[in-house]
Structure 1
Amino acid sequence: MKRIFVIILFCKCCFVLCLPTVFAKAVASQKWEKSLVDIEISQKRYDYFQPWAPRNEIIEKQGVVVNGNFILTTAQYFNNSINIRIRKGGVGKWWDAEVKTIDYHANLALIRPKAQQFFDGLVPISISEKLPVNGQIDIIRWRENLIELRKAEITRPVIKPSVTSWLAYLHLEANCDIEGAGWSEISVLDSRLCGLVESQDGTTLTIITASMIKHFLKGATSASYRGLGYFDFVWMKGQNPDSLAWLGQTNPAKGVIVIDFAGRQRTNSLIQRGDVIVKIDGFEIDSEGYYKDPRYGRLLLEHLATFNKWAGDSIKIELIRNGSVTNVNYVIPKANFTDELVPFAVYDKEAEYYIAGGLIFQPLIIPFLKSWGSDWERKAPFRLAYYTRQKPTDDYQSRVFLFMVLPDRYNIGYQDCRFMVVDKINGVKIQNLKDVKHAFENPTDTVHIIEFAKGEQVQRIVLDASEFQSATRRILQNYGILYQYVISN
């Protein structure tokens, strides 16, 4: 009997000791219930193997209320959105919303409800003034109508691209046992927002930092949003002392060598191939491309193009050219997806195609190549993937390819042709589908002549121009395709 009494007494003591923790979690949940928001996006999704047949999908993600009666979230999944709804409290009424500002390079978006009454009872979150580079943070989200809070351990700050762009900027990586994250969950330190979770790989979370969020909010709420920029020069490490000495740099532990330019090289760029960059914005650049940041430690030089900088801003670069020290005021170019020969992404546009006598033409873009999965660089057709490593030229700013041929008596003999890059149609140089449409409207005598890039298995296709229109209509009808083409403005 005495033993039972001791056990009961012990259990009561444990219950009393646990009360503060339970109470604290309940208070925390009530606090975040007033700031976190559910977002539902109705989105049009495209299968690039059947671009004429889009499907609608519904995506649910998280958002958080910020000053100015806006909701902050990641930009991911707003592409080609049809309708946006938001909900507070984890349950109840859905409210219609719209995008105020979106930046796919930063992977950040501001949305707002169409009725301001939505904000009644909600509290904007405070944003951290400093970025933690180690220690623990909280990951918080709505899940099954309840607030879920998990601890995460910061592993490192890192310069890497966001999931929606090729542009690299500062992120945090953290280790957490949460499941199914990467939907704009908030990360919190001392009750202040220190980031948004943009992706998860195993137990590793990639987090957009508070510094980028504050920068984005400042621009997004201004009269005009200029967007982010980047350094358009390609550099190599200056670890070979002989190379540095040949270029006039006598300090072998300092500087990187400019070897090329990304995308379209600007004619007004003050940087040249062979320059040794030794300082950017007053920070010394070591031979591996890092500088010592007073806030976050050793970071890649790319951070200096996005930290408190916008496209069009000027930044001082000290370099060595032909053995002499030179200072230039480098104007940061704006990040554009169209700067690449094969664009990384095409946002908020319908999937483009043009069907001509059963031949299906599409613009060459990386979203198409990603149809082969995450390992697309190895699995996608080699001839197409090859162009992702090429740059725009004066002749070709973008490329178009023959996707496949819908078999018909009109195109017999060509039905196995596919994945071939087009050079010309009827003598017209082809860079986009507008060129394709124009070329087919102007046949060469009585035939249409499609010429392909050097090295393709078939160099030329010739089609009868007199039967072209009727054959195209028949093929569209036989295959149940409503429109001959979709071409964006």
Structure 2
Amino acid sequence: MRPHLLLPLLFLSACDRPQAAVEPVAAAPVAPGPVPVANPDEILPSVVRINTTQQSWDQAEPWQKNTPGKRRSLGAIVGNGIILTTAEMAADATYIELESPDGKKLAPAKTIAVDYEANLALLGLTDESNAKFFEGTKPLEISAPPKIGDTLDILQVEENGSPLITSGGIQSIDVVSNFLPGQFFLTYEVKASMQSAASSFSLPVLRDGKLAGLLTSYDSKDQISDVVATEIVARFVKEGSDADYAGFPSLGISISRTDDPNFRLFLKLPDDGGGLYVSNVRVGSAAEKAGLKKGDVILSIDGNDIDRLGYFVDKHYGRLYWSHLVRGAKASGDKVDLVVQRDGQPQNISAVLDRRDEVSQLVPAYAFGKAPNFLVKGGLIFQELTKPVLESFGNEWQSRAPLNLLDVYENPEKYESRCRRVVFLSNVIPTPATVGYESLQSMIVTKVNGKDIKDMKTLIEAFKTPAADGLHSIEFDEEKFHVYLDESISDTVDKQLLQRGLPKLSRADD
């Protein structure tokens, strides 16, 4: 069985960042440690506690769930009955409860909008009959974007309902991945000495009494808090309040730096210039639709020159990573203008940004709240490949997961033309039907009974029609390797597995 992957708690380590970091700037002096709020009656009506029960699916045994857990955070009221929190609070949540700061009022809640990539969520009441919960509350206004050196106030509420403020200076501003690896968004790094007595999974961050962002992580050793930036919060609150939330857009490319002199010479780039090399263009992405190609070098985005490390100079924040020009400054449907070098010549390209739903990807990067698809046939266990499945191989999954499955994840374009999802034999239960097959695992299925396998639905359908001799023929990607399964024996085994406690033999939801 593969080991399980645990989500990190708030007060642990720092986050992933682009390879080149922004040079820190000395922040303004701030008061050490948390202090009681001078005017608690002004701030407490604008925040609520959030309690969630969360239970994820077991990726190694996809017919069952993992042990449930609980999380607690402090959310900000940002509209009429609307609460802002992190996506981590909504991920795999089976129950969400709102609680007033004094603990006297409780109400069940639901997710209105969630963006796992930006790590933001909006919550609202499950039943409007509980509308009294918000009586006397006051939504927070969103502040103007701060700058490096400005002071932000991190708000905590102790168990007795007393609010605390920890003031800290913005030490640097960068584009950071704080929940899902590889998803980078504008983030403030705030130097502040927090306390864990009133710890919470996320906290509102204020500037002059207005909402400036959400704290998503705290490094107690370096006393650095990561705060989702004002611009990202403001855009999410505005767009997430609509019924049809599109999400933050993407261009759909992979890039490489061009700081190596030999690489620049090969690309015919001048010594005094910048540029980012396009190493991959995702099929169906905004970049592909616009005509961007692998091998292009992006020189500028919307008039902003991109240096060889991938940074540009923002008028307000200073030096930022290029992805902010796409993911932070734009909305889905907006146009972005690129200047690229192709075959040594500059070209102008315009792309209309979009956000592809993760379920449309060959290998979905996340599947919160969605049960994994699987089939158990005679003891053979088949699954659809997702990134959570790869992550179930442990913290070092990128080196421990099977090479053929990693190849699908890293090079999806090789497989997208032949299937919607990659189905593989993940494990084998020793049964009378699987004698001799016990060691087989992590093998990609291409055909069953002569039928091409596109996803779990086609696999289940293919097993309904064995050959005339009563045998199922299973063909794998690995050197056209075949396995044969006796239908009568496997059918008997399936019935026994259900009798022994397996809740179901298959799942093939969209």
Instruction: Tell me: CA distance 1:413–1:242, structure 2 relative to 1, closer, same or farther (3 Å).
Output: closer
TM-aligned CA deviation for residue 264 of structure 1: 5.1
CA distance in 2, matches of 1:410, 1:474: 12
- Alignment-derived partner of residue 257 in structure 1: 277
- Corresponding residue of 2:213: 195
Tell me: CA distance 1:380–1:245, structure 2 relative to 1, closer, same or farther (3 Å). Answer: closer
- Alignment of 1:186 with 2:186, yes or no, is no
Measured after TM superposition, the shift of residue 421 of structure 1 is 2.6
Distance 1:179 1:406, change over 3 A: farther
Work out the CA distance in 2 between the residues paired with 1:173 and 1:432: 43
Conservation of the 8 A alpha-carbon contact between 1:90 and 1:142: no
* Distance change >3 Å, CA 246–CA 164, structure 1 → 2: closer
Alpha-carbon separation, structure 2, partners of 1:335 and 1:406: 37
Distance change >3 Å, CA 363–CA 199, structure 1 → 2? farther
- Counterpart check, 1:320 vs 2:338: no
Match of 2:3 in 1: none
Alignment of 1:471 onto 2:493: yes
The residue number in structure 2 matching 1:424 is 447
| Letter of the structure 2 residue corresponding to residue 104 of structure 1 | Y
| CA apart distance, 1:249 | 4.6
Alignment of 1:43-442 (within 5 A): 43-54=54-65, 55-113=67-125, 114=127, 115-146=130-161, 147-164=163-180, 166-178=182-194, 183-202=201-220, 203-222=223-242, 224-240=244-260, 244=264, 247=267, 249-250=269-270, 252-262=272-282, 268-338=289-359, 340-392=361-413, 393-442=416-465
**What do you get for the CA RMSD once the two structures are aligned?**
2.7
More deviation, 263-272/409-418: 263-272
* TM-score, L = length of structure 2: 0.83
Whole-angstrom distance in 1 between the partners of 2:283 and 2:190: 32
Assess, with a 3 A threshold, how the Cα gap between structure 1 residues 425 and 143 changes in structure 2: closer, same or farther: farther
| Matching residue of 2:48 | 37
- Partners of 1:223 and 1:433 lie apart in 2 by 31
| TM-score (normalised: structure 1) | 0.86
- Taking the aligned partners of 1:438 and 1:319, their CA distance within structure 2 comes to 47
Superposition deviation, residue 295 in structure 1: 1.0
Q: Check 1:142–1:252 CA distance in 2 against 1; reply closer, same or farther (3 A cut).
A: same
Kindly indicate whether the alpha-carbon contact (under 8 Å) linking 2:362 and 2:420 is maintained by their aligned counterparts in 1. yes
What runs of 5+ residues in structure 2 fail to find an aligned partner? 1-31
Distance of 1:368 and 1:201 partners within structure 2: 29
Opposite residue 492 of structure 2, the aligned amino acid is S
Does structure 2 conserve the Cα–Cα contact (< 8 Å) formed by 1:238 and 1:253? no
Report the Cα offset of residue 255 of structure 1: 2.2
Question: Is the 8 Å Cα contact of residues 182 and 200 (structure 1) preserved in structure 2?
Answer: no
**Rounded Cα–Cα distance in structure 2 between residues aligned with 1:194 and 1:279:** 29
Q: Which range moves more in the overlay, 136-145 or 308-317?
A: 136-145
Please tell me the residue identity of whatever aligns with 1:218: K
1:339/1:303 CA distance change after superposition, 3 Å? farther
1:106 positional shift: 1.9
In the TM superposition, residue 209 of structure 1 has moved relative to its aligned partner by 1.0
Distance 1:26 1:394 in 2: 59
- SS of corresponding position for 2:293: coil
Greater mean alpha carbon deviation, residues 245-254 or residues 399-408: 245-254
Separation in structure 1 between the aligned mates of residue 467 and residue 317 of structure 2, nearest angstrom: 63
Q: Secondary structure at the match of 2:433?
A: helix
Per-residue deviation, 1:485: 1.2
- Structure-1 separation of matches of 2:418 and 2:219: 41
1:182–1:198 Cα contact (<8 Å) kept: no
Contact 1:195 1:213 in 2 (8 A): yes
Q: Is the 8 A contact 1:235 1:259 kept in 2?
A: yes
Counterparts of 1:272 and 1:250, CA distance in 2 = 21
Counterpart CA distance in 1 for 2:207 and 2:121 is 22
Higher-Rg structure is: 1
Give the distance between the partners of 1:121 and 1:340, measured in 2 at CA: 45
Quick one: distance in 1 between partners of 2:446 and 2:191?
Answer: 49
When residues 272 and 370 of structure 1 are mapped into structure 2, their CA distance, relative to the original with a 3 A threshold, is: closer
Distance across 2 between alignment mates of 1:403 and 1:259: 31
SS at match of 2:289: coil
Q: 2:483 corresponds to which residue? A: 461
**Residue type of the partner of 2:496?**
R
Kindly provide the amino acid, as one letter, of the partner of residue 170 in structure 1: L
Which whole-Å CA distance do the structure 2 matches of 1:98 and 1:273 have between them? 42
1:449 equivalent to 2:459? Answer no
- Does the CA-based 8 Å contact 1:344-1:366 persist in structure 2? yes
Aligned residues: percent identity? 27
Q: SS of the residue aligned with 1:76?
A: helix
Specify whether residues 70 and 248 from structure 1 end up closer, same or farther in structure 2 by C-alpha distance, changes over 3 A only.
same
**Residues 1:487 and 2:505 aligned together:** no
Instruction: Classify 1:219/1:255 alpha carbon distance in 2 versus 1 (closer, same or farther; 3 Å).
Output: same
Query: Once the 2 structures are TM-superposed, how far is the Cα of residue 35 of structure 1 from its aligned partner?
Result: 1.5
> Structure 1 residues 250, 51: CA separation in 2 closer, same or farther (over 3 Å shift)?
closer
The 1:428/1:182 distance shift into structure 2, 3 A limit, reads farther
Q: Which amino acid aligns with 2:172?
A: R
Offset of residue 135 of structure 1: 4.7
Partners of 1:334 and 1:244 in 2: how far apart? 32
SS at the partner of 1:129? coil
SS at match of 2:249: coil
Q: Structure 1: how far apart are the matches of 2:261 and 2:360?
A: 34
Question: Does structure 2 conserve the Cα–Cα contact (< 8 Å) formed by 1:253 and 1:287?
Answer: yes
Contact persistence 1:105–1:335 (CA under 8 A): no
- 1:314 deviates by 0.9
**Structure 1, residues 235-257: CA drift from partner, whole Å, max 9, x if none?**
22233566556656546423223
Contact 2:37 2:165 in 1 (8 A): no
Give a deviation string over 1:151-172, Cα, whole Å, max 9, x none. Answer: 4443321212341464322112
- CA distance in 1 between counterparts of 2:219 and 2:453 reads 40
Aligned-residue offset at 1:223: 5.6
1:228–1:335 CA contact under 8 A, matched in 2: no
Q: Note if contact 1:35-1:64 (Cα within 8 Å) is conserved in structure 2.
A: yes
Alignment partners' CA distance in 1, 2:260 and 2:327: 29
Distance 1:470 1:77, change over 3 A: farther
**Residues of 2 paired with 1:434 and 1:133: CA distance?**
52
CA contact (8 A) 1:247 1:321 kept: no
